[in-house]
Chain A
Amino acid sequence: MWTICFREFRELMSGFRPLLIAAVLFVVSYYTAQAAELIPDGMGNLSQEEAYVAGMRAALYVFGYLFVFTLSHNVVNKELEARTIRFLVTKASRSAIIYGKTLGTFLFWALLLLLNTILISYTAGTFYLIDYLEFLVFIFYGVTAAVLLSILIPRSAYTMFFGVLAAFALPALSFWSMLSEEWYIAWVKFVTPYYYFQFDLFYMAVPFVIGLLFYSAADRLFQRRDV
């Protein structure tokens, strides 16, 4: 399990992608805070310190799932397509493969978010521990959704398409749902993480549990899959 986890982590860390993502998140966070300084009354009731983390949150809202799905839409099906998975399943349990891949992907994001949180914490002069934990849950939800998608759809070209679609649809539908009373959309906010950001950390348990359900479904599907 750890072997697959570290391999997935290393693969995601290789190249310019982590630097680019970290840069985007930091630049958006930083300039959002700078912009807040220029507005005479600040951004609503936000203090300067809060503006930094609000910027990071906004960056995650907008780009978070797009990054996750773009990088990890094919976390499993790329190995199915290449048939490298055949060597993996003959050596490790299927659960260990899914666990390793999910954890490796999650650790990559956890590290990126930690670096970014440290950077903005340093700039703002305060450490955003609670916000970091919320970001982790937010990303966990996206990572498990990407793993599930990658098992549900065996072709990586399709998961790329559906992943990007989901990355735009998730925030759009969630915010629509939060602003609407219509029955056909109002329920969406309860199954995505955005709604729970406005409450205490405790409420983030809901998207975390949904993420666990995604993970469990992915594991069960993979147990039955011919590779």
Chain B
Amino acid sequence: MMRIIRTENLIKSFGRERVVDGISLDVYQGELFGFLGRNGAGKSTFINLITDIMKPDSGDVYLFEENFGIDAVKDRIGVLPDYSSFYDQLTGLKHLQFFSRLSGKPATKKRSLEVLEQVGLEEAARWKVGTYSFGMKKKLGVAQALIHDPELLILDEPTSGLDAESVIHMQKLVQELNREGKTIFMTSHNLPEVEKICSRIAIMKEGTIALEGSLKELQQQFQATFMVTIDTGTTLGEEDKARISRGLAEKKRGGAWEDGLLHVETASEDAIPLLVQQLVQLHVPIYGVSVEQPSLEDIFLHEPEQVSDDLYKT
């Protein structure tokens, strides 16, 4: 599959502080890639480096596997940069027409109005941007990234500063654009949002990629064991419970009872069907099976040092 974004050992320092510290990352065609990290982790700087806003101290950036530099592919990229602003005297509509011409793909008035409608700015199309609220400017930022119909969207916190309704609208728009075939690379502070919409995630810490993969892969990396809870109902007596526990012990498994719930720890996700099969053989009535998995929030909030080093890329 085509690597739409590829960075090799990207380094950027401000003074003595190394903000991006040797990041090598691949983003493939069609992915909706979520980029997470605490404030100051270097997410925005990384985006600035791959979009020509900043120049790396060393390392390489390849977009669309192109070796001729970013200028050759700027018309294929839509970027919502961090800390950017518009021309206060121009209307939203004029902005889109200006930016589309700049991209070399002039948009008609109809197309510009369509894009403004997509982001929920149709009513403010002819207002001067100086009168826009922060959230409206954010929407216009997304609109200008979309106006020339790019193949790759790089969005730095597209939902921050938006009201709840607009957040949901924006998330749906991002998902829809991804379904249409656009590759999307986005940062966010909203963990449930990333968990909900992104197909692959990277967590940045102190200038490096601490974790990378799909949510499932991150959960597997993060989680050493799986806690399976079997609901056996309320019919089992103490003798039955003891018999089942002995049966599990023979299969070299441990189990703990909590009323009618049996908690069993397994080493891998693959062992769960086997466990259920064993319980059926032991004539355990099964009313329900649940597997406790860490959320993205659990993974994000967990200090990387607390997880074994081999789980981390760097």
Contacts and interface: CB of A to CB of B under 8 A. Distances in A.
A82 B103 CA distance: 20
Q: How large is the interface on B (under 10, 10 to 19, 20 to 34, 35 or more residues)?
A: 20 to 34
B249 interface: no
Contacts of B71: 93-95
A84 interface: yes
A200 interface: no
Given A3-B98, A92-B102, A87 B74 contact: no
B90 to A, nearest CB: 10
Nearest to A225: B55
Given A4-B102, A92-B102, A227-B54, A87 B144 contact: yes
Contacts of B54: 226-227
Contacts, number: 55
B85 A90 contact: no
Nearest to A92: B102
A17 interface: no
A222 to B, nearest CB: 11
Interface string B261-305: 000000000000000000000000000000000000000000000
B77 A84 contact: no
Contact of B85 (A4, A83, A95, A224): A83
A7, A87, A90, A93 — most chain B CB neighbours (10 Å):
A90
Contacts of A220: none
Interface string A185-214: 000000000000000000000000000000
B99 interface: yes
Nearest to B82: A86
A88 interface: yes
Given A82-B85, A92-B74, A93-B74, A87 B99 contact: yes
Contact of A88 (B48, B75, B102): B102
Interface residues of A, number: 20
A46 interface: no
A86 B102 contact: no
Interface string B81-115: 10111110000000000110111000000000000
Contacts of B86: 84, 87
A23 interface: no
Interface in A80-122: 82-84, 86-95
A89 B144 CA distance: 13
A89 B79 CA distance: 10
Nearest to A4: B102
B52 A87 contact: no
Given A86-B83, A87-B144, A226 B53 contact: yes
B159 interface: no
A224 B71 CA distance: 14
B55 A90 contact: no
A226 B55 CA distance: 6
A227 B74 CA distance: 16
Contact of B103 (A83, A86, A91, A94): A91
A91 B99 CA distance: 7
Contacts of B83: 83, 86
Given A83-B83, A83-B85, A87-B84, A94 B52 contact: yes
B51 interface: yes
B68 to A, nearest CB: 11
Interface in B142-172: 144, 148
B185 to A, nearest CB: 13
B98 A90 contact: no
B93 to A, nearest CB: 15
Contact of A3 (B85, B102, B148): B102
A104 to B, nearest CB: 13
Contacts of A4: 102
A225 B48 CA distance: 12
Given A86-B83, A87-B99, A91-B75, 18 more contacts: A84-B85, A86-B53, A86-B84, A87-B144, A89-B51, A89-B53, A90-B51, A90-B53, A90-B77, A90-B79, A90-B81, A91-B74, A91-B99, A91-B102, A94-B52, A226-B53, A226-B55, A227-B54
28 contacts: A3-B98, A3-B101, A3-B102, A83-B84, A83-B85, A84-B86, A86-B84, A87-B81, A87-B144, A88-B102, A89-B52, A90-B52, A90-B53, A90-B77, A91-B74, A91-B75, A91-B102, A91-B148, A92-B74, A92-B102, A92-B103, A94-B52, A224-B55, A225-B55, A226-B53, A226-B54, A226-B55, A227-B54
